[in-house]
Structure formats: structure tokens, C-alpha cells
């Protein structure tokens, strides 16, 4: 699910600000995929796809290396059609479960779909394995033919995994066992987190309400909420620690069988980026901690009149400017205008999401607390899930996810199902760029100096959360997985690692109380997508550099930008960035992106 685990901020429900029913955040309508869990089309499609998959296996298994280029291209077309059909059903079940995580029927349906998809996929597994066994010279001759032009990028990316491919028998066992191993633990985590509650103001409320209150102007209320989060995470520590240890061990076994040199290597291969490039990014951000997060949070402590910040002060609003709620209708218009002013074609794309029931934005119990854009299949459209509470940060989340949605439509329509998927390092480009457009649009329209300063500070905090915090998350994961190789890691030790990383990344302005040690356990990325998190920092630094090019040379930029999004997964980062004169392998590239954040902090420092 491309870009699914993008984190969303949790904010107060705009209903409390008197929004009318007509302007309440919407729920989505998934009927463009299927009408319901009992829709006969689901089982009919399953039966048809199973028959097609069996026939595909019987006809082509063992023959791929002997086919002509035209024949192989036809086999690829057939394979893509089956995969797209399976993707349609899988998308429906995943989306339904995300919107109704605590609903038992949706949970059973999602599990049954996953099991059926795995069973059918067993017939297709031979295809990629057999392709990767074709010798380089033979495959080069096949792909040199014009008939195979469409599939060259897909084969290029598939071959990246060739050195780590196991025997057909082992690969099939690993795939079939995933239903009762990693996938099962993921489901347990999701259902557990969706069911957690806290007590605030004498009332039982979803855990998300406590996270929302961490942005409250009242420090006492923030502290109360933080302690409620700590308490409920501590109560569930045994289960959350077990899930984490089990999944880390599961990954270690799989990585060991495949021969990956380190825990993050499989993620880097999937992102089509070299270990060394990621190392350079992480090193650059780590080196920049003092001039970024350490400096900013020292300033924030002074602004708040505190000698030290506690962890519940990190997202505290600055005093002097009330953080007014923004209605859903106003939030949509802010984002639509920002995209349309940059490029009318992109503006029209995001408008389609707003006039159609493709967004699930209502903050309701039993729903996933995160935010994502799911591309589904090219002949339908993406869907967006978020929780809109009416704060400015929720408007930015909407801008972020609509960037993903527009990217997914452009890539899917241009490249088709198999070639449209973008590596995570580039999947965040359109989303973060959309946030930047929206922020700049709001900043340009603001004339009040106090509000402009407030907006700059909020943007800096968002960028620190995207770059510094996510790289710190990555560093935490590296240390945790390294220690897991030597045996199960205790809750106390995981908490120590977490606190050490937070102290290192956020700096001496903070005094971290022991109750913060459990906060690692609510982050879904560690469970669903190990080592995903650095992609946010990659994307933010990339967008900072990209936006600088746009400001310097706006003429023709939108056309080049759209072409980059339309490329989907067919081009690597070097090829995508070349038209903009950028190179992510250049050490100066990362510094250029980090300098943008440092420059904003300079502005705030000068203003006092």
C-alpha cells in the first residue's frame, strides 16, 4: 500500500466548534470497489481470479526463459491483469478494516480476504522467481526488443532482489506462513491500538483524544493527557513488547535466510536506494541536530517561560496567537487553492477528491488513528483516510494526503498497475511538496506579523517532526533490531534506547520523565513497515531542494513536476531529479535541504 503509513496529527473534533452537519468531515464510499462485505461480486471475482491464476501457472510455469519478446510481453500483460484484480479486492478489505478497525465483521472479512489472496498468489509466485533465474545475457536480449519496452523498469527493479531470492519451495512457505506470522501480529497491533481508551475530564475517550490534547495551550491539560497516554501504554506494555520482539525476530530470520547485510537493507532495496545514500542522509541529519532541533527547542523553552521542556511541551502552541479551528469546508478550499495556484491541472485533480466520496476524514471511534492515501487500482481511484479535527495541522495533513492521491492517479493512469508504484523515498515527494505549497499560500496571505511568526514556528516544528524525529525513529529501530539479534529485548531496555535517542536528537532543552519511555510502542511504522520512517526525511529534504528550484525558476516547473509524478516507479531518483539539476548522491544535496530548515530557525531567532 503505497504511502499508507503516513502519520497524522490528532486534533479536536470541529463539531465542538459548532460546525453544521453539511460541513462535517465526510466518510468515504467504497462502492466503486465493492458494495459491501456481502457483495456477490467479491466471491465471483475471487473465483474468476483463482481460475485465471491456475491456468496462468499451468500454461507458463517453466517456459518463461524460452519465450520470444512478444510472447513474454503478452505474459506480463496477463500477469498484470490478474494482479490488478487481486489488488482491487485487497484494497477494499484493507480500506474497510482501516475505517472500522474494531468492528468484528470487518476484521473477519479482512482476514479471510488476506488468506484467500495468499492462497491464490501461490499460483503466481513462480513468475517473479522464474524471471529472476533467467541469465543476464538472455534477459538483456529479451528486453532489448521494443515489444518489452513497457516492462524494462519492472524487470530492472525485480532484479534488485535476485541475490536475495530463495528456492521456490522456501519462498512459497514464507508467503503462505505470512498470514499467521507477520500479518497476524500486525492485525493484533491495529485492533489493540484502536480499542485503547483514556479518561479525560472524567469521561472515557479514545486514545487519540489524549494525543490531541498534547497541543492544548493549557500545560496542566497537556500533562494530564500525557500521563494518561503513558498509563495506558504501560498497561499494555507486555503485549506491545511481545509484538515488537516477535516481529523483529521474524524479520531477523527472514533477513538471515536471504543474506541481507543488515536489518535496514531489505527496506533500502525496496526503496531502490543504496545503503550508502541512506547512511549519508542519516549522518547529515544527525550532524545537524544541534543547529536544528537543539537550537529551536531551546528557543521554544524561553518563549514558553520554562527552564526545561517536558515531553508534553514539544507540540505546545506558542502563546499570543490563538489556534483557531478551521471548518472542513474552509480547510478543503485552502488546500484546493494552493494546488490550483501552482498548477491548474493538479488543482483539478485534488478537486475530484473533494467533490467525490473518496475521503474518510471524520474523527470517529473504532477507526485507524493515522492517515494515508491508498492507490487501489488504476481503473478506480485512490482513497484517503485521515482524522480531521479542525486544527491547522489537519489542513496540512489533508494537503499531504492529497499530494499522494494526485501522484497515484497520475502514475496509475500513465504507467498501469505494476509500473505505477513509487519507492517510499520518492512516494513522499508529492505529499510534502503539497504541504509546502499550502503553507506558502497561507503565509503569503497573512499580514499580521505575530501570526506570520506563529506560522513559521509551526512550520519549523512540522519540518523537525518530519526530518529530525523520523531519523531519530530510524536510529531507534536500528539499535532495537541490532539488540534483538542477541535475544529478546525487555520493556525497560527498549525504553532506555528510546530515551537515549530522544535526548540525542531533541537536545538539552528537554527533561524526559521515565513515563515517556513507553511512547515508542504506539508508532505503527515500527510494526507495519520496519525502517520506513527515514523516507519522510528523504522526502522533506528532497522537497526543500525541489522547492528552491521552483522559486528560482518557476517557468515550466509545473510541467516538469507533473512529468516526474507521472513516471511512477519507472525512473530512479537520479533520473527523476536530473531535469531539476539535483543529485541525491551529492553530499551537498542533503545539506541544502537541511539549510532550508536552519534558515527558518534563523528568521525566528532574529525576531526574538
Mean pLDDT across the stretch 41-55? 98
In whole angstroms, what is the distance from residue 427 CA to residue 409 CA? Answer: 13
pLDDT category at 318 given cuts 50, 70, 90 is confident
549: enclosing H helix or E strand: helix 534-552
CA distance 298 to 521: 27
- Half-sphere exposure of residue 523: CA atoms within 13 angstroms, side-chain side: 19
Tell me what pLDDT residue 14 has. Answer: 30
Arithmetic mean of pLDDT, 231-251: 97
Q: What is the pLDDT of residue 276?
A: 87
- The average pLDDT across 7-27 equals 46
Model confidence at 355: pLDDT above 60: yes
**Which of 71-75, 338-342, 450-454, 512-516 shows the lowest mean pLDDT across its residues?**
450-454
Q: State the DSSP code for 162.
A: G
pLDDT of amino acid 8: 28
* Torsion angles phi and psi, residue 203, rounded to 5: -120, 145
Tens of pLDDT, residues 189-206: 999 998 999 999 999 999
pLDDT at 17: 32
pLDDT of residue 274: 84
pLDDT band at 608 (very low <50, low <70, confident <90, very high): low
The DSSP line for 413-482 is: HHH-HHHH---HHHHTHHHHHHHHHHHHHHHHH---HHHHHHHHHHHHHHHHHHTHHHHHHHHHHHHHHH
- What pLDDT is attached to residue 354? 96
The residue among 384 and 277 whose pLDDT is bigger is 384
The C-alpha atoms of residue 141 and residue 447 are separated, in whole angstroms, by 62
pTM (2 d.p.):
0.81
Mean pLDDT of the chain: 91
Residue 519 gets which letter from DSSP?
G
List of residues 6+ apart from 480 with CB closer than 8 A: 244, 248, 489, 494, 497
| pLDDT (average), residues 460-473 | 95
How far apart, in whole angstroms, are the C-alpha atoms of residue 195 and residue 102?
Answer: 7
Model confidence at 20: pLDDT above 50: no
Stretch (H or E) spanning 204: strand 203-206
Alpha-carbon separation of residue 142 from 67, 77, 139, 604 (angstroms): 9, 15, 5, 58
CATH class of 33-160: mainly alpha
Q: Would you place residue 212 in the very low, low, confident or very high pLDDT band (cuts 50, 70, 90)?
A: confident
Taking 70 as the threshold, does the pLDDT of residue 12 lie above it? no
Question: With contact defined as beta carbons under 8 Å apart, do 282 and 534 qualify?
Answer: yes
Cell of 329: 469546508
Residues 237-249: what's their mean pLDDT? Answer: 97
Phi-psi domain of 52 (left: phi exceeds 0; alpha: psi -120 through 50; beta: other): alpha
| 341's grid cell | 495556484
Sequential DSSP letters for 305-338 = T-SSB-GGGTTPPPTTS------HHHHHHHHHHH
State mean pLDDT over 449-457.
Answer: 87
For residue 175, what are the contacts with CB-CB under 8 A and spacing of at least 6? 118, 121, 122, 125
User: What confidence score (pLDDT) does residue 574 get?
Assistant: 84
What are the sequence ranges of the domains in the chain?
Answer: 33-160
Mean pLDDT of 297-311: 95
**Is there a contact between 509 and 293 (Cβ–Cβ < 8 Å)?**
no
Rounded to an integer, what distance in angstroms lies between the CA atom of residue 141 and that of residue 127? 19
pLDDT of residue 11 exceeding 50: no
Radius of gyration of the chain (CA): 24
**In the structure, what pLDDT confidence band is assigned to residue 62 with cuts at 50, 70 and 90?**
very high
> Would you say 584 and 542 are in contact if contact means Cβ atoms under 8 Å apart?
yes
Percent of the chain with pLDDT over 90: 76
Contacts of 498 (CB under 8 A, 6+ apart): 476, 516, 517, 519, 520
Mean pLDDT of 577-597: 87
Measured in degrees and rounded to the nearest 5, phi and psi for residue 117 equal -60, -40
- Between 17-26, 45-54, 366-375, 426-435, the lowest mean confidence (pLDDT) is in 17-26
SS3 523: coil
Mean pLDDT of 81-85: 98
User: What's the rounded Cα separation, in Å, for the pair 210 and 140?
Assistant: 56
The confidence score (pLDDT) of residue 9 equals 28
Range from 22-26, 98-102, 395-399 carrying the lowest mean pLDDT: 22-26
Q: What is the structure's pLDDT at 323? A: 64
pLDDT value of position 548: 87
pLDDT digits (tens, 9 = 90+) for 523-582: 999 999 999 899 889 988 888 889 989 988 999 999 999 999 999 999 988 899 999 998
Residue range 462-477: mean pLDDT, rounded: 96
* 5 pLDDT higher than 70: no
Which pLDDT score is estimated for 597? Answer: 93
Cβ atoms within 10 Å of 555's Cβ, excluding its own: 6
CA distance 509 to 147: 61
**Range with lowest mean pLDDT among 39-43, 473-477, 591-595:** 591-595
Band (97; pLDDT cuts 50, 70, 90) = very high
User: Rounded CA gap, 71 and 88, in Å?
Assistant: 26
Mean pLDDT of 93-111: 94
How many other β-carbons are positioned within 10 Å of the β-carbon of residue 261? 9
Out of 116-125, 296-305, 344-353, 417-426, least confident range: 417-426
Amino acid at each position: 500500500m503505497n504511502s499508507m503509513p503516513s502519520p497524522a496529527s490528532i486534533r479536536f473534533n470541529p463539531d465542538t466548534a459548532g460546525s453544521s452537519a453539511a460541513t462535517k468531515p465526510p466518510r468515504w464510499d467504497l462502492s466503486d470497489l465493492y458494495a459491501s462485505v456481502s457483495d456477490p461480486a467479491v466471491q465471483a471475482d475471487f473465483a474468476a481470479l483463482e481460475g485465471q491464476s491456475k491456468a496462468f501457472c499451468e500454461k507458463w510455469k517453466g517456459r518463461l526463459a524460452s519465450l520470444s519478446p512478444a510472447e513474454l510481453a503478452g505474459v506480463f500483460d496477463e500477469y498484470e491483469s490478474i494482479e490488478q484484480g487481486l489488488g482491487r479486492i485487497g484494497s477494499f478489505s484493507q480500506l474497510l478494516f482501516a475505517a472500522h478497525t474494531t468492528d468484528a465483521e470487518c476484521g473477519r472479512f479482512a482476514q479471510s480476504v488476506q488468506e484467500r489472496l495468499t492462497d491464490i498468489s501461490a499460483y503466481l509466485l513462480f513468475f517473479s522467481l522464474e524471471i529472476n533465474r533467467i541469465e543476464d545475457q538472455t534477459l538483456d536480449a529479451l528486453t532489448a526488443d521494443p515489444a518489452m519496452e513497457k516492462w524494462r523498469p519492472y524487470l530492472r527493479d525485480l532484479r534488485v532482489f535476485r541475490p536475495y531470492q530463495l528456492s521456490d519451495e522456501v519462498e512459497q512457505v514464507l508467503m503462505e506462513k505470512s498470514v499467521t506470522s507477520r500479518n497476524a501480529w500486525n492485525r493484533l497491533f491495529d485492533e489493540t491500538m484502536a480499542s485503547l481508551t483514556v479518561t479525560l475530564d472524567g469521561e472515557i475517550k479514545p486514545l487519540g483524544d489524549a494525543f490531541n490534547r498534547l497541543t492544548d495551550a493549557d500545560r496542566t491539560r497537556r500533562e494530564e493527557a500525557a500521563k494518561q497516554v503513558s498509563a495506558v501504554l504501560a498497561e499494555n506494555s507486555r503485549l506491545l513488547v511481545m509484538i515488537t520482539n516477535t516481529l523483529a525476530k521474524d524479520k531477523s530470520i527472514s533477513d538471515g535466510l536471504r543474506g541481507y547485510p543488515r536489518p535496514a537493507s531489505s527496506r533500502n532495496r525496496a526503496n531502490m536506494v543504496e545503503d550508502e545514500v541512506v547512511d549519508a542522509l542519516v549522518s547529515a541529519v544527525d550532524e545537524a541536530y544541534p543547529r536544528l532541533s537543539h537550537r529551536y527547542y531551546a528557543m521554544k523553552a524561553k518563549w514558553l517561560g520554562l527552564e526545561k521542556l517536558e515531553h508534553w511541551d514539544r507540540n505546545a502552541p506558542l502563546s499570543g496567537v490563538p489556534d483557531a479551528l478551521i471548518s472542513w469546508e474552509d480547510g478543503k478550499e485552502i488546500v484546493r487553492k494552493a494546488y490550483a495556484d501552482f498548477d491548474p491541472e493538479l488543482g483539478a485533480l485534488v478537486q475530484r477528491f473533494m467533490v467525490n466520496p473518496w475521503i474518510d476524514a471524520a474523527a470517529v471511534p473504532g477507526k485507524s488513528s493515522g492517515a494515508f492515501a491508498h492507490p487501489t487500482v488504476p481503473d478506480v481511484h485512490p482513497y484517503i483516510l485521515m482524522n480531521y479535527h479542525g486544527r491547522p495541522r489537519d489542513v496540512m495533513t489533508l494537503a499531504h494526503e492529497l499530494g499522494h492521491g494526485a501522484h497515484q492517479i497520475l502514475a496509475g493512469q500513465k504507467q498501469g498497475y505494476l509500473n505505477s508504484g513509487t519507492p517510499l523515498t520518492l512516494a513522499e515527494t508529492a505529499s510534502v511538496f503539497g504541504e509546502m505549497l499550502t503553507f506558502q499560500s497561507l503565509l503569503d496571505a497573512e499580514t499580521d506579523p505575530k501570526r506570520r511568526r506563529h506560522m513559521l514556528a509551526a512550520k519549523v516544528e512540522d519540518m523537525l517532526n518530519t526530518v529530525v524525529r523520523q531519523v531519530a525513529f530510524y536510529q531507534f529501530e536500528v539499535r532495537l533490531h541490532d539488540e534483538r539479534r542477541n535475544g529478546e529485548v525487555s520493556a525497560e531496555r527498549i525504553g532506555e534506547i528510546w530515551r537515549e535517542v530522544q535526548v540525542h536528537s531533541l537536545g538539552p532543552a528537554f527533561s524526559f520523565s521515565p513515563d515517556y519511555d513507553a511512547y515508542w510502542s504506539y508508532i505503527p511504522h515500527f510494526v507495519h513497515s520496519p525502517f520506513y520512517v527515514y523516507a519522510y526525511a528523504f522526502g522533506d529534504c528532497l522537497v526543500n531542494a525541489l522547492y528552491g528550484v521552483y522559486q528560482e525558476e518557476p517557468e515550466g516547473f509545473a510541467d516538469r513536476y507533473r512529468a516526474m509524478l507521472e513516471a511512477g516507479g519507472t525512473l530512479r531518483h537520479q533520473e527523476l531529479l536530473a531535469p531539476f539539476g539535483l543529485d541525491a548522491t551529492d553530499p551537498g544535496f542533503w545539506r541544502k535541504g537541511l539549510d532550508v530548515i536552519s534558515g527558518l530557525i534563523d528568521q525566528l531567532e532574529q525576531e526574538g
